[in-house]
Every structure is written in C-alpha cells, then in structure tokens.
Amino acid sequence: MKKGIVLLVALVTVACQQNKIGYVDNVKLMDGYQEKIDIEAKFKTKVDALTKKRDSISQAFQLELQGFQAKAQKMSQKSAQEEYTLLQQKGQFVGQQLQQEEQQLQQNSQTEMDSLVSKVKKEIKAYGKANGFTYILGGGDGGAVLYGQDAHNLTDAVLKILNDNYKK
C-alpha cells in the first residue's frame, strides 16, 4: 500500500511538471534578421570592390605584358628572358597579395557571422527563460524539427525581438 501511494505521488508530480516546448525556423530567423542582412550587404560591397580591383590590376598587367611582347622582339634573348622573369615574379606577387586580401575578407566575414549566430542563440535562450520554455528546438534546413504546430513556432516573436534590439 505504501509503495502504491509513493508511486501515485510520483506520477502526479511528473504529470504536473509539463514541459513547454517551442521551435524556431533557423533559416527564416536568419534570413529575416536585419543585422545579418546588413552584414551580408557590407561584405558584398567589399567583395565587389576587391573584384573591381582584381580586374583592374589584371587588365593593367595584360597591357604591360603586351607592351613587353612588342619590345621583346627587339631585345636580346637573354634580356628578354630576364625581363619576362621579372614580369612573372611581379604577377605572382600581385596575385598573392590579392589572394591574401580575399582570405582576410572571408575570415572577417566568418568572424562576424559567428558572432551574429552566438548573439541569436543568446536571444533565443533569454526568450525561452523569460517565457517559461523547457526546450526551444531549431527547425528549417538541417534543423531538428520535422513537424511542429504553428502555435509552437516562436520564429516571428524572436525575430521581432532581434530586429527591435538591432534598431536600438
């Protein structure tokens, strides 16, 4: 009888501890987050500028190479080979410089996006704590939610908080 009462109390206790579960659509959340949109726009501008710079340098180098080819016919083979070697070295150096700039830009972009993802996770956690959620799951592409009732979709609420905080 004692065991039955203990078991009944345990079942009632478990039944009273109902978990509150919600989910966010990660893709929709990130695609609608203005700070992410602004970061992407900023880096697109930088990538476009780097592309223009690369094209401009490439065009100038092609002109220099054509000029060399025209005057190389009037030079001794040794002099032409030496100047051609210098041109190759210059081309390699410029190519390496541009590649380093591109890598630095990618690294900076990745750092900012990682920081942004961390900020979003913190905001979701704070939203969950403030609204009494036991779990908030991630949905969307690659997410853990295969189905969820719309009533448990917290995406719009969290997105509004993120965008309101970003505007400040």
* Domains of the chain, residue spans: 18-167
Residue 163 has pLDDT above 80, yes or no: yes
- Cα torsion 155, 157, 161, 166: sign: positive
For the chain, the residue count is: 168
- Taking 70 as the threshold, does the pLDDT of residue 7 lie above it? no
Whose CA is closest to 128, among 138, 120, 118, 136? 136
Q: Is 22 in a helix, a strand, or coil?
A: strand
State which fold the 18-167 domain adopts. Answer: Protein Binding, DinI Protein; Chain A (3.30.910)
Residue 146 has pLDDT above 80, yes or no: no
